[in-house]
Chain A
Amino acid sequence: MKPAAFDYVVAESIDAAVAALAAANGEAKILAGGQSLVPMLNFRLLRPSTLVDINRIPDLAFIEEGADAIVVGALTRHHRLETAPVIARHLPVVAEAMRHVAHLAIRNRGTIGGSLAHADPAAELPMLALLLDATLHVVSHAGPRTIAARDFFLGPLTVDLAPDEIVTRIVLPKLPPATGWGFAEVARRNGDFALAAAAATLKLRDGVIGEARIAMTGIDDTAKRAGEAEALLAGRTLTPDLIDTAVAAARAGVNPPTDLHASSDYRRHLVGVLVGRALADAWRRARGEQS
């Protein structure tokens, strides 16, 4: 339960981090919050030659409000995203979901960029990035690039990020006006990874659903959008029957794992229930109704 030896490099700037990654020929790992990485090191599931510590890079932890989006630095800690007033105002679904991410001591340390790059298939942040059509900014020795969240998550713990690339910021578009949101999760214990979770936004247009977005986690190799369910909601009024139809479409689009904690069938059932709850909450909020 102790890590193997490694070289330790403190990067004082993004440029220095990128240079250290390039110098390690793909054998280095970035040490951000370390809340997933260090357990893997302690178990010796990973034995990187070098850890590049980015915790001292000053311009990597921030939350900035733009006209249409909130830009979050990759080193921003979960607890800051959970509690920032600008997130509560413009992305309340994020503030709500963050309370379900692990425990305070983990949220104090874990980072947004780290969680996205780690891409646990049951984590909340990849689901939120998909829900909100987020954009990730990454940089390497070869230069910067941007990538849409929908193209970023490739498989379990696998993302479109080269060994010498680092996530620098995430752009989260604000919820548009007349948009309601919902979030629902079931975990075995508070703070555990989700057995399944779902989040939804409904934008009203002329009193009916103009645009629906539904994202799910814990139910496949990666978090996923429920594209077919979203499509059949457009232009409609949300009724119990329509929820049932959307839930059935969402269930048909997932391939949940079976593990110690739950069977595939149970997770498929569960995510449908959670999608239904998230949609009902989103509809209620979009119409300005109290709970």
Chain B
Amino acid sequence: MSTARAIKVTVNGVMYERTVEPRLLLSDFLRHILGLTGTHVGCEHGVCGACTVLLDGDSVRSCLLFAVQVDGLRVETVESLGTIDRMNPLQEAFHEHHALQCGFCTPGMLITATDLLRKYPLASDEEIREGLSGNLCRCTGYEHIVRAVRAVVGTKDAPP
């Protein structure tokens, strides 16, 4: 019954080998097993977007995946984007435009915006708002987050 399985996962460029129960959510694997607490957990049913990470480059809800499913795959979390001393252009824009207050939603916002910038032209603020609509923020009213993303679209310095 629900035998623990050995998995190998590359997270932010580092290969981890762990043994996990099948029901362990990827979000809990990242936070509790690997100690990568940058990924936040809000609703645990795919609504709030706080736990969004990149799986083989695509944004996904880590609370809607099991750790066993990502065996052999590549996960990137907010910790991969930059450091406090060397933030990436998107993080700089969030800083510059005051795109966070409490910061709880910010990791999911950054990861989602990273994927949006790769996949959509984001030619209008409406398109940015639609793209971010799966990420709930209860502080900012979104206005400054949209400005920050807009600023990165404008510089054509989008994250790779």
Contact = CB atoms under 8 A, between A and B. Distances in A.
Contacts of B119: 79, 83, 104
B134 A39 contact: no
Contact of A106 (B25, B69, B131, B134): B134
Given A6-B2, A53-B69, A55-B69, A105 B61 contact: yes
B11 interface: no
Nearest to B62: A105
Given A7-B1, A39-B64, A105 B112 contact: yes
Main SS class of interface, B: mixed
Interface string B42-74: 001110010010010011110111101100000
Contacts of A190: 129-130, 133
B22 interface: yes
Interface of B: 1-3, 5, 21-23, 25, 28, 44-46, 49, 52, 55, 58-61, 63-66, 68-69, 112, 115-116, 119, 129-131, 133-135
Interface in A33-78: 34-35, 38-39, 41-43, 51, 53, 55
A42 B44 contact: yes
A31 B64 CA distance: 11
A6 B46 contact: no
B134 A35 contact: no
12 contacts: A6-B2, A34-B65, A38-B45, A38-B66, A39-B64, A41-B23, A79-B58, A79-B119, A103-B134, A105-B49, A105-B60, A190-B130
Given A1-B45, A38-B46, A105-B49, A8 B68 contact: yes
Interface in A106-136: 106, 108-109
B52 to A, nearest CB: 5
B19 to A, nearest CB: 13
B72 to A, nearest CB: 9
Query: Among the interface residues A8, A31, A55, which one has the most CB atoms of the partner chain B within 10 A?
Result: A8
A42 B58 contact: no
A5 B1 contact: yes
Given A2-B44, A6-B2, A103-B112, 15 more contacts: A8-B2, A8-B5, A8-B66, A34-B69, A35-B61, A38-B64, A38-B65, A41-B23, A42-B63, A55-B69, A83-B119, A105-B61, A108-B115, A109-B64, A190-B130
A6 B23 contact: yes
Contact of A5 (B2, B28, B130, B133): B2
B22 to A, nearest CB: 4
Main SS class of interface, A: loop
Query: Among the interface residues B2, B49, B52, B116, which one has the most CB atoms of the partner chain A within 10 A?
Result: B2
A170 B131 CA distance: 28
Nearest to B111: A105
Interface residues of A, number: 31
B21 A105 contact: no
B61 A109 contact: yes
Contacts of A106: 46, 61, 134
B46 A104 contact: no
B47 to A, nearest CB: 8
A212 to B, nearest CB: 30
A7 B116 contact: no
B44 A105 contact: no
A38 B44 CA distance: 9
Contacts of A105: 49, 52, 59-61, 112, 115, 134
B74 to A, nearest CB: 14
Contacts of A6: 2, 22-23
A8 B22 CA distance: 6
A190 B116 CA distance: 15
B78 to A, nearest CB: 14
Nearest to A34: B64
Nearest to B5: A8
